[in-house]
Amino acid sequence: MLRSDFAVGRTRLFSRFPVIASCDLEEVRDRVAHVFCDHRLNVVGKSQRLSTQMYFRPGRYAGYGRMSYGATVDIDPGRLDDFFLLQFPLHGEETIISEGQSVSSTANMATIVSPGVDFRMRHGQCTEKLFVRLDRRALEHELVSYSGRALKGPLKFAPGIALDTAQGQALYRFISWLMQEASDGPLLDYPLLAAQFEDTLMASLLSTLPHNQGSQPHFPLSVAPHFVRRAEEYMQHHAHEPLSASDIATHAGVSTRSLFAGFRKYRDTTPMAHLRALRLEKVRADLVSPPPGAQSVTRIAMRWGFSHLGQFSAAYRQRYGETPSLTLQRAGGREPRR
Please report, for the domain that includes residue 163, its CATH number.
Answer: 2.60.120.10
The answer to whether position 308 is within a domain reads no
The answer to whether position 206 is within a domain reads no
57-92 core/surface letters (b: 16 or more CB in 10 A; e: else): bebebbbbbbbbbbbbbebebeebeebbbbbbbbeb
CA neighbor of 287 nearest in space, from 256, 242, 319: 319
The answer to whether position 276 is within a domain reads no
Quote the domain boundaries for residue 99.
4-148+157-171
Confidence of residue 223 (pLDDT cuts 50, 70, 90): very low
Strand partners, 76: 40
> Where does residue 184 rank: exposed (0-12), middle (13-18), buried (19+ CB within 10 A)?
middle
Ranges of beta strands (E only) in 163-204 are none
Of 42-46, 133-137, 319-323, the range with the lowest mean pLDDT is: 319-323
Please give the residue that has the higher pLDDT: either 58 or 335.
58
Q: How large is the greatest C-alpha to C-alpha distance in the chain, in angstroms? A: 72
The answer to whether position 306 is within a domain reads no
The answer to whether position 294 is within a domain reads no
- Give the pLDDT score at 220: 37
The answer to whether position 87 is within a domain reads yes
Cα distance between residue 262 and residue 223, in whole Å: 5
The answer to whether position 44 is within a domain reads yes
Q: Are strands 109-113 and 160-162 parallel, antiparallel or unpaired?
A: antiparallel
Is the predicted pLDDT of residue 32 greater than 90, yes or no?
A: yes
Strand partners, 78: 119
Please give the residue that has the higher pLDDT: either 221 or 58.
58
Question: What value does the mean pLDDT of the chain take?
Answer: 85
Is the predicted pLDDT of residue 37 greater than 50, yes or no?
A: yes
- Looking at the chain, the whole-number percentage of residues with pLDDT higher than 90 is 41
- Give the pLDDT score at 84: 97
Q: How far is CA 42 from the centre of its chain?
A: 31
Cα distance between residue 294 and residue 301, in whole Å: 9
Q: Contacts for 195-199 with beta carbons within 8 Å, 24 or more apart?
A: 195/60, 195/242, 195/243, 195/244, 196/242, 196/244, 196/305, 198/59, 198/60, 198/61, 198/62, 198/138, 199/142, 199/244, 199/245, 199/246
Is the predicted pLDDT of residue 54 greater than 90, yes or no?
A: yes
The answer to whether position 17 is within a domain reads yes
Average pLDDT over residues 31-47: 93
CA dist 163 → 29, 110, 111, 168, 211 (Å) = 30, 7, 10, 4, 17
Look at the chain and report how many structural domains it folds into.
Answer: 1
Q: How many CB atoms lie within 10 A of CB 182?
A: 23
CA dist 112 → 8, 18, 87, 105, 156 (Å) = 26, 23, 6, 10, 9
